[in-house]
Amino acid sequence: MDKFFSIVRGFGLKRGPQRWLGGVCGGIAAKLRVDVAYVRVAFLLFCLLPGPAFVVYILGWLLLPDQNNKVALESFINQRSR
């Protein structure tokens, strides 16, 4: 599992400091160097289309490291294995 999370961290994408829910849109905006409002609007438009937008957002929240380089899913797995 450690190799998987190392690969995820290697993308250089982190959840953003401008957090409404999980900071996923903020992190994508920071990586793309665009205003977070554009990413949020794009995500809302994506949600209007039939598809798994909510699932994609939750996966981003679980897999993308936060500003302290901690991955929520990794922390959860480590706590469960103790």
Taking only the tens of pLDDT, the chain with its 82 residues reads: 778 888 878 777 777 666 666 788 888 888 889 998 999 999 888 888 777 777 888 888 898 888 888 888 898 888 887 7
**What pTM did the predictor assign?**
0.59
Token digits of residue 81: 């294995």
Host domain of residue 27: 2-80
- Tally of domains within the chain: 1
Dist. CA 11–CA 4, nearest whole Å: 11
Q: Are 1 and 77 within 8 A, CB to CB? A: yes
For tokens 């039939």, name the residue.
Answer: 50
